[in-house]
Chains A and B, each alone.
Chain A
Amino acid sequence: MALTQHNRSRLTIGLTFLAAFVLSVLPGPQWAEPFRPDWVGLTLIYWCMAVPQRVGVGTGWTVGLILDVLYGSLLGQQALAKTLLAFLTIKLHLQLRMFPRWQQAVSVFVLIALNYLLLIWIKSLVGQTPIKWNYWTSGIVSMLIWPWLFIILRDIRRRAHVS
């Protein structure tokens, strides 16, 4: 019984990540690109905050690697960024849970922005960097979407009894 519950939780978390991956590579108009939220980052933050005993740096690394393959970017850069994102979220998860929703959203913005800053550093290290300011718009959109995504994921978590 305990095992099936365990597997069901895993399946639920996996499916939410799968949806996040699809949303991350969904084709859209070019101008809308900078406004695409970091779906995978948001999902990772949620699960790290809600069930840190289950989702952690290992999960972060795996989803980051998958993103690298999907994006065709340098293998390991998203993996590194998402590993650190998971680590920071778990370090802060008790505070994050206590925060009112808007404050949570601001923290999410900071986390996602750090995540992007790291990506920019890596890019400049390997020598491909026209830094554009619209790179940050994604963080802002992520922040605006967070409260709604939070409610959806919380609902999913409660229905599937993920703990």
Chain B
Amino acid sequence: MMGTSGWSMHAPSMLTRLLVFVALSVALMIADHRGQHLERIRQGLSVLLSPIQYAAALPGELSGWTSGFFGGDRGLRERYERLNAELPLLQARLQKYEALAAENEHLRRLLGSAARVAERAVVAELVEVSREPFTRQITVAKGRQDGLFVGQPVLDAHGIMGQVAEVGVLNSRATLITDPGHAIPVQVNRNGLRAIAFGVGHPDRVEVRHLTSSADIREGDLLISSGIGSTFPFGYPVAEVTKIVNDPNEAFLEVSARPVAQLGHNKEVLLIWPAEPAEPTAAAPRR
């Protein structure tokens, strides 16, 4: 019934429709690339689409729940024992930390600089990992109502994972340090050598660029956040240097490092409010 008549009616208009939609896409891309005008639209749409994300997260949660339910006793006991073994270790480390924190504060007072305010942290659940092969992003189940802000550092138990790129109402998106568009100021923990670690899109590699061959950096060095640029607070582990290639033809060293944070394994991440809670209150009144 639709056969020939329907087709011949559509045929002449299809090219124009194609052009219209292509133009629309290009306009969208330009607007999205150039500015922040489309953030509202994107957020609105992502709220509308959040059921899809929840549906996608369901099987994982279900399997976690069933394995928790049926895996029962032995698993729990093992876990209990492991945690029990870990506890004294962590406590010992914590004691040292407290002493260090006190000493640090004392030294800062001697120097006359303001002591840093304790950092506030919130645990957020990871809802989704970016499917796009080029970008390294995650979505966490916290949003504007929790006081998140763009640029907020995201951590796990081991080190820095990335920063919040987009705050939605219920969910937020964070860019990982391995994203090709991300760079983080770091320093070598051993000697304070400053550098910048760039993401390259590889799931567990970042590159430290623009270090000359005379730079004092070795394989195995720990890179910590340097606090420069004030997005990331000072002193959190970022990556461990795995490979250094010194090609005499190149101006700079080729340094690869593996992120310390377990970017591919986490179910929960930490969001922190560095320094004073100035940013969250500045962001909060919008609600």
Q: Bound state CA distance, A32 and B60, in angstroms?
A: 15
Of the listed stretches A22-30, A100-108, A151-159, chain B binds A22-30
Tell me how far the C-beta of A40 lies from the nearest C-beta in chain B, rounded to whole angstroms. Answer: 11
Tell me if A27 and B21 are in contact (CB < 8 A). no
Tell me how far the C-beta of B202 lies from the nearest C-beta in chain A, rounded to whole angstroms. Answer: 8
User: Is A96 positioned at the interface, with any CB of B under 8 Å from its CB?
Assistant: no
Given A25-B128, A71-B131, A128-B180, CB of A80 within 8 Å of CB of B22: yes
| Candidate in B28, B38, B181 with the most chain A CB atoms within 10 angstroms | B28
Tell me if A163 and B2 are in contact (CB < 8 A). yes
Query: Which applies to chain B's interface (DSSP): helix, strand, loop or mixed?
Result: helix
Of the listed stretches B44-52, B66-74, B110-118, B220-228, chain A binds B44-52
Contacts of B14 in A (CB 8 A): 56-57, 87, 90
| Candidate in A26, A27, A56, A129 with the most chain B CB atoms within 10 angstroms | A27
User: Is B280 positioned at the interface, with any CB of A under 8 Å from its CB?
Assistant: no
User: Is A1 positioned at the interface, with any CB of B under 8 Å from its CB?
Assistant: no
Tell me if B128 and A27 are in contact (CB < 8 A). yes
Tell me if B129 and A135 are in contact (CB < 8 A). no
Q: Give A contacts to B, CB under 8 Å.
A: 18, 21-22, 24-27, 29-30, 33-34, 36, 52-53, 56-58, 60-61, 64-66, 69-77, 79-80, 83-84, 87, 90, 122-123, 126, 128-130, 132, 134-135, 138, 163
Q: Give B contacts to A, CB under 8 Å.
A: 2, 6-7, 10, 14, 17-18, 21-22, 24-29, 31-33, 38, 41-42, 45-46, 49, 52-53, 55-57, 59-60, 128-135, 137, 139, 165-166, 173, 180-181, 200-203, 264
